């Protein structure tokens, strides 16, 4: 787990942090139906009308933030790419670099189901997965595997005084926030980031992190 910055030591002594801005993709039909659509689901769901509005609203909110965005990354999944394009077009930034480690988890045989359907067809399996991060869905990824790749992707972009925008999914956002807070695995599911929301995490050279915002939902506009 991350060690917090050495506060109350002056922040200036720690140097400038790296800022990670995480945007969850906009809404899809599967979001509304509460169906699992991870990295293994095909055909991939696209943004619906509301999802497009959420992406554009996130872009407008990001344009209001202080400081520049130095680089933009996006999960290779369709809905993340559509959200990233809407944001970067508005901010007049280059196309985001595709980064597979920021993909949603692969839920294997549970893809396309609701959580209620999973619990009915695989009694006890959902609770087991939540309780033990090393265990995953049949033919899917464990939360521990997803955590390892997401944290590796985060480490790759940490450069002091730079800002990285990543358009990603709920599971990676939860992982980053839990890691930044030094929270136990049990706290993972308590992080909420709605479609189109913005989460911001600063990380210093000493390895400490501060969560600046979680799941900020920009005012929805057309």
pLDDT tens track, the chain, 222 positions: 444 444 444 455 678 999 999 999 999 999 999 999 999 999 999 999 999 999 999 999 999 987 889 999 999 999 999 999 999 999 988 878 899 999 999 999 999 999 999 999 999 998 888 889 999 999 999 999 999 999 999 999 999 999 999 999 999 999 999 999 999 887 888 899 999 999 999 999 888 999 999 999 987 766
Nearest Cα to 31, choosing from 2, 17, 52, 16?
A: 52
Number of CB atoms found within 10 A of residue 127's CB: 10
In a domain, 9, yes or no: no
In a domain, 178, yes or no: yes
How far is 157 from 196, CA to CA, in rounded Å? 22
| DSSP states along the chain | -PPPP-TTS-GGGG-PPEEEEEEEPPPBHHHHHT----TT-SSPPPB-HHHHHHHHHHHHHHHHSSS---EEEE-SSHHHHHHHHHHHHHHT-PPPEE-GGGSPP--GGGTT--HHHHHHHSTTHHHHHHH-TT--STTS--HHHHHHHHHHHHHHH--TT-EEEEEE-HHHHHHHHHHHHT--GGGGGG----TT-EEEEEE-TTS-EEEEEEEE-PPP--
In a domain, 110, yes or no: yes
In a domain, 3, yes or no: no
In a domain, 4, yes or no: no
User: For tokens 């989460």, what's the residue?
Assistant: 199
User: For tokens 């189109």, what's the residue?
Assistant: 196
pLDDT single digits (tens) 154-174: 999 999 999 999 999 999 999
- Tell me the catalytic residues: 25, 104
In a domain, 6, yes or no: no
In a domain, 73, yes or no: yes
Supply the CATH number for residue 76's domain.
3.40.50.1240
Which backbone phi and psi does 46 adopt, to 5 degrees? Answer: -100, 165
* Total domain count, the chain: 1
Output the pLDDT for position 222.
Answer: 61
How far is 53 from 24, CA to CA, in rounded Å? 13
In a domain, 146, yes or no: yes
Question: Whole-model pTM above 0.75?
Answer: yes
pLDDT single digits (tens) 29-62: 999 999 999 999 999 999 999 999 999 999 999 9
The domain in which residue 193 lies consists of 14-216
Say which residues have a Cβ less than 8 Å from residue 49's Cβ, sequence separation at least 6: none
């Amino acid at each position: 787990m991350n060690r917090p910055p050495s506060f109350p030591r002056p922040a200036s002594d720690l140097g400038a942090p790296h800022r990670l801005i995480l945007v969850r993709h906009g809404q899809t039909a599967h979001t509304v139906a509460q169906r699992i659509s991870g990295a293994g689901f095909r055909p991939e769901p696209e943004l619906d009308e509301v999802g497009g509005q959420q992406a554009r609203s996130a872009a407008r909110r990001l344009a209001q933030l202080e400081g520049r965005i130095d680089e933009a990354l996006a999960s290779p999944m369709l809905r993340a790419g559509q959200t990233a394009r809407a944001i970067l077009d508005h901010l007049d930034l280059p196309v985001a670099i595709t980064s597979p480690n920021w993909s949603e988890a692969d839920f294997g045989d549970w893809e396309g189901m609701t959580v209620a359907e999973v619990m009915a067809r695989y009694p006890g399996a959902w609770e087991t997965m939540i309780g033990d991060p090393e265990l995953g869905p049949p033919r899917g990824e464990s939360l521990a595997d997803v955590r390892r790749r997401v944290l590796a992707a985060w480490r790759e972009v940490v450069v002091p005084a730079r800002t990285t925008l990543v358009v990603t999914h709920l599971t990676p956002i939860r992982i980053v926030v839990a890691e930044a807070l030094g929270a136990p695995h049990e706290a993972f599911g308590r992080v909420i980031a709605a479609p189109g929301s913005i989460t911001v995490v600063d990380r210093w050279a000493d390895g400490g992190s501060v969560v600046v915002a979680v799941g900020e939902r920009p005012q929805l506009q057309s």
